[in-house]
Amino acid sequence: MSLLPGYDSDSVIIPSQESQWSVFVLSFVGLVSTYHVFAGPSGFTATKQVAWILTTISSFIMTVGSLPFVWDYVYGQGDVKSVRPFPELAVSTSRFFQAYLLADLCVGSIYYRSQITFLTGWFHHIVYLGIVEYAIRQGWAHVFALAAFMEFPTLILGTATLFPRIRSNIFFAVSFFLTRILFHIIIGVAYYLPKNRPLTRAALSALSSSTTAAPIGSVAPAVLLTFVFPMHAGWFLGCLKGFKKRAKLRREAEIKARGAKNEPKTTKSSVPPAKLSPPDAVPHASLRRRLHAHYIYDHYAHYYSTRYAHYSSRYAHYRSRLRGFALRSASSASVKESLQQRLPSLRPTLQRLPSLETFSSLPALSSLPSPIYEMSAFAFDVPPIAKKVTAAFPTREKLYGTLGLGKSGPPVAACGVQVH
């Protein structure tokens, strides 16, 4: 009875447990021995290089072991159902990968512990030990062997680490994207489809012994692929950040080289340069105290100089205002004193003033001749007019009476000063 396209269930030979564990033990011993061969004094000595010895060997074997499954996948035009199980090859490849994970943890914890991180070391290896064991027990070793083709960029990176001269960052980035991003997404989506879901070993046994309808396959391989994808995506983002960082460093180096090239060349002098003796070393604490004191002096000197200029300007302003007030007070006092001195001399003049009533008998101004049109007819006797005006001024008694001071009261000046 055909369970898979092109295969008969009777022809599928699953390796026994003894043979599986034999492959595991031999792989573990072989990897540990290989590490000690290549990590000796005559081999790789750098810590980062010796940490990649086992990884490079494992990625090479896993990539080669996945080629028959990749061939079926490509030959079937991208149909995962066309991938033949090859149980002996698939299970042996899976057991080898388990041996590598365990050997890398054991050897790394002794010789290159600094290179084994929690995420890419302990967590990654322990999780994959469980995933591979689950795939073997469910009869999905061929699914894991197909996905093992994603170890190809690891082979490129490991080879470049061991042999830096053949390093190619672009080749690694392109292979990583094609396998661990694009190929990962394609097979992950394919295994989500009901027609491509693989059957478990129990389902295959039940199907071979009954005539009922074929059961629906498990979605577990698709879920596992989805669970692993974020880790691959994070590594790819780190790769892109590395490209960006290296490009920035390259541009800075080019700018520095261009600046050094454009600098004028100085002629070498035949006179040897004078030897400069370095100054005495100043203790850090002493230098710090000096700088602190200098900072405080500058800060407060600026503050007080600004305040002094402000108060100086305010003082000059108020001083000018006080001087103006004093000058005005002095001028008013001098005017008052001059009036007091002149009022006694004005007393006879005030006594000779005529009464204000005499001005009413004078002719109106409108009756006088115009100075413009009647200048020739304008003639009068000055002495009589002067006499008449003088006679019209009020006497001293009348002036006092008009002001309400009586006959004996002293006259009052306009500024409020009494005349004695």
Residue 215's pLDDT is what? 67
d(CA 63, CA 150): 8
Within a 10 A sphere around the Cβ of 270, how many other Cβ atoms? 5
pLDDT at 273: 67
| 223-228: Cβ within 8 A, 24+ apart | 224/131, 225/147, 225/184, 225/187, 225/188, 225/191, 226/188, 228/131, 228/184
Give the separation between CA 88 and CA 72, rounded to whole angstroms.
16
Q: Model's pTM, two decimal places?
A: 0.58
Question: What DSSP letter does each residue of 235-296 carry, written as one string?
Answer: HHHHHHHHHHHHHHHHHHHHHHHHHHHHSPPPPPPSSPPPPPPPPPPPPHHHHHHHHHHHHH
pLDDT at 8: 39
**Residue 8: its H or E element:** strand 7-8
pLDDT tens by residue, the chain, 420 residues: 334 443 434 345 678 889 999 999 999 999 999 999 988 776 788 888 999 999 999 999 999 999 999 999 999 999 999 999 999 999 999 999 999 999 999 999 999 999 998 888 899 999 999 999 999 999 999 999 999 999 999 999 999 999 999 989 999 999 999 999 999 999 999 999 998 988 877 776 666 665 555 667 889 999 999 999 999 999 999 999 988 898 889 888 888 888 777 766 666 666 666 666 665 655 677 777 777 777 777 777 777 788 888 888 888 888 887 777 777 766 777 777 777 777 777 777 766 666 555 555 555 555 555 444 444 444 444 556 556 666 666 666 666 666 665 555 554 444 444 444
* CA–CA separation, 390 and 385 (whole Å): 8
Kindly report the CA angle at 306 between 301 and 310, in degrees rounded to 5? 145
Nearest-angstrom CA–CA distance, 339 and 104: 122
Q: Where on the phi/psi map is residue 355: left (φ > 0), alpha (ψ -120 to 50), or beta?
A: beta
